[in-house]
Chains A and B, each alone.
Chain A
Amino acid sequence: MIHLSAITRTFHMGDQVVHALSDINLHIASGEYVSIMGPSGSGKSTLLNIIGLLDRPDSGRYELDDRLITDLPETEQAQIRREKIGFVFQSFHLIPRLTAAENIELPLVLSGIPPEQRQIRVNEALQAFELKQRASHRPAELSGGQRQRVAIARATIMRPSVILADEPTGNLDHQIGAEVMALLENLHHGGTTLIVVTHDRELGARAHRQIAMRDGKILTDQTDDAG
């Protein structure tokens, strides 16, 4: 479903040119569980941002579900993000003045779904992520694990086909991190494509397909036979 060919992305830092991605070719099938690993500055986050349509490549083709994405106008890219992609961030990125339920509801609001339907779906999500008791709490009143659960609930409320997680456990202790990973993997078992960016080898090893990156290039791309 995800098809990247000859993707390059360069940044200008002062008068220095940084090749964040150079000539990336990658195919990810629907329902895969992929981890992208590498040291910081290897281009893994940039790759994730391009897959998630937050960033545009300087050259190359990106097809999502057999549709050429690269040249789509901003509004249509936003619509694809809304409907097909769910983001999970290291720092959760919850809106501090909104309650847990309101944070989860946001993508539905952006999609213009009527309030009654929103209510039903948010309640389901709260139930599914065991956040019922915390629905009216603001992020500041939640633990790290709870915050990331809210973020995952928000990422999945639109039932996207791809979940992109950028260091999802980076701000959590080991045990809570494992719980969060279990949640994400659970989504994968439900058929969602899961792409996790991490520099944690242990975490990366849980994925069925492991991509290692360095200096904007794909170093290795292994698929576990067991997966």
Chain B
Amino acid sequence: MTLADTLQTSFKTVVSYRVRSLLIILAMALGVAAVVVLTALGDGARQYVINQFSSIGTNLLVVLPGRAETSGSFLGAVLGQTPRDLTLKDAQLLGRLPQVRRYAPLNVGAAELSGANRLREVTVLGSNADLIPIRHMKLAQGGFLAHGTERNAQIVLGAKIANEFFPRSQAIGQRVRLGDSRFIVSGVLAAQGESMGFNTDEIVIIPIDYAQAMFNTTSLFRILIEAKSHNVIEPAKQAILAALKQSHDGEEDITVITQDVILSTFDRILHTMTLAVAGIAAISLIVAGILVMNVMLVAVNQRTAEIGLLKAIGATSRDIRRLFFAEAVWLSFAGAILGFLLGQSGSLMLRLAYPQLPAWAPAWASIAGILVALITGVLACLWPASQAARLDAVKALSKR
């Protein structure tokens, strides 16, 4: 029997047992669809986190005081030394490094904002004009603390704050009081909503030295650095460590976090999660495979007389095995394709329902889902097919 005839004959069989075939195909399809949709969800979550991170800034390095690593030397502890603070001088030093495009020192605090007969507690960021491009923030109107003139008593309001204090009038140029100091509103941030758990709509930004004076400190909370390109992130990190070690009397007492490290950690976690979810979905495929096995065994039983007849008119055991085998392949194949389409439309619906979630099933998941469906379908048929091939023709024919 030729391969084409085997495929055609078994295809006809699949079509003639319409309800039975549809049910198996549906079971297979749901398994594949589950793999596709769940991996789309997992990978979408991963992409979402990556997008969130790159919305904070690109080629970003964060310098923070203190050493996050355990070291063998406890000399510092013996001498009663604490890690040195990061200072504005440190920040300016880093700004001159060749790998650094721009830097923004950062202090965070809380203060009372008043003006236009209103009053509220706000989170205060002290920084310079480069904070905006580094953190990928946008201004709705006005300007930010102009370059090099950080001493100006200017303030930038978050979108929600501006709206609350000056709902009907232009915020730019208005006078406000923050703590004990007076400021002129120079700009309003565009509404961005929450990003990494930090709502930029409810902050105000003032020049760094005003912030330091207000919070009575000379140290910095963070220094944000933007490297010149992706390739120099690691050299920049080394240069920052070296420069600050030198200025801190040979003590390596700062930590530099690159965005890459955080990103790749999240990437790894979410990737593993996607794999786990895909694995769980794959179990449903194996269940579908067992269903195929069951149905094929029933088919062998139902068609005993037919198998006997095929043997009587000259079918070899191989022909019969291949006929049943091809039938299972058709069923799994149809199930896999239908499942793939179902999964893709499911992902599409996810994307429509949650536009910020890029729920695209990764190619590996779709391919793996289809392959697992085919393989389980085919494996599930090995036993029933060999049962059919082994049937005794005389007994098979006498059964009616």
Interface of A toward B, CB cutoff 8 Å: 49, 52, 54-55, 74-75, 78-79, 81-83, 87, 89, 91, 93, 95, 97-98, 106-107, 109-112, 154-155, 158
Cross-chain contact of A110 among B13, B306, B315 (Cβ < 8 A):
B315
Q: Which residue of B lies closest to A86 (CB)?
A: B313
Task: Knowing that A49-B394, A81-B313 touch, tell me 11 more A-B residue pairs with CB under 8 angstroms.
Answer: A49-B393, A54-B311, A81-B311, A82-B315, A93-B309, A93-B397, A97-B17, A110-B310, A110-B313, A111-B1, A154-B313
B1 & A110 in contact (Cβ 8 Å cutoff)? yes
Determine if B317 is an interface residue (Cβ-Cβ < 8 Å).
yes
A78 & B394 in contact (Cβ 8 Å cutoff)? no
A110 & B312 in contact (Cβ 8 Å cutoff)? no
Cross-chain contact of B319 among A97, A110, A154, A155 (Cβ < 8 A):
A110
Cross-chain contact of A75 among B309, B312, B316, B394 (Cβ < 8 A):
B316
B316 & A74 in contact (Cβ 8 Å cutoff)? yes
- Give A81 to B315 CA distance when docked, in angstroms: 9
A54 & B315 in contact (Cβ 8 Å cutoff)? no
Residues of A within 8 A of B400 (CB): 91
Determine if B81 is an interface residue (Cβ-Cβ < 8 Å).
no
B13 & A107 in contact (Cβ 8 Å cutoff)? no
Q: A54-B394, A97-B13 are in contact. Are A74 and B317 (CB under 8 A)?
A: yes
Give the interface centre of A82, A110, A111 by most chain B CB atoms within 10 Å.
A110
A81 & B312 in contact (Cβ 8 Å cutoff)? yes
Residues of A within 8 A of B197 (CB): none
- Give A107 to B311 CA distance when docked, in angstroms: 10
Residues of B within 8 A of A106 (CB): 310, 313
Residues of B within 8 A of A97 (CB): 12-13, 16-17
A95 & B316 in contact (Cβ 8 Å cutoff)? no
* Cβ distance A9 to chain B, nearest Cβ, rounded Å: 10
Q: A49-B394, A110-B319 are in contact. Are A81 and B314 (CB under 8 A)?
A: yes
B1 & A112 in contact (Cβ 8 Å cutoff)? yes
Residues of A within 8 A of B317 (CB): 74-75, 78
Determine if B318 is an interface residue (Cβ-Cβ < 8 Å).
yes
A-facing residues in B363-400 (Cβ within 8 Å): 393-394, 397, 400
- Give A98 to B394 CA distance when docked, in angstroms: 22
Determine if B82 is an interface residue (Cβ-Cβ < 8 Å).
no
Determine if B254 is an interface residue (Cβ-Cβ < 8 Å).
no
A110 & B309 in contact (Cβ 8 Å cutoff)? no
- Give A75 to B316 CA distance when docked, in angstroms: 6
- Give A110 to B323 CA distance when docked, in angstroms: 11
Determine if B145 is an interface residue (Cβ-Cβ < 8 Å).
no
- Give A215 to B308 CA distance when docked, in angstroms: 26
A-facing residues in B5-29 (Cβ within 8 Å): 5, 9, 12-13, 16-17
Residues of A within 8 A of B308 (CB): 93
* Cβ distance B241 to chain A, nearest Cβ, rounded Å: 76
A54 & B312 in contact (Cβ 8 Å cutoff)? yes
Determine if B305 is an interface residue (Cβ-Cβ < 8 Å).
yes
A52 & B312 in contact (Cβ 8 Å cutoff)? yes
B314 & A112 in contact (Cβ 8 Å cutoff)? no
Q: Which residue of B lies closest to A111 (CB)?
A: B314
A112 & B313 in contact (Cβ 8 Å cutoff)? no
A87 & B312 in contact (Cβ 8 Å cutoff)? yes
Determine if B2 is an interface residue (Cβ-Cβ < 8 Å).
yes
Residues of A within 8 A of B312 (CB): 52, 54, 81, 87, 89, 93
Residues of B within 8 A of A154 (CB): 313
Q: Which residue of B lies closest to A91 (CB)?
A: B400
Residues of A within 8 A of B397 (CB): 54, 89, 93
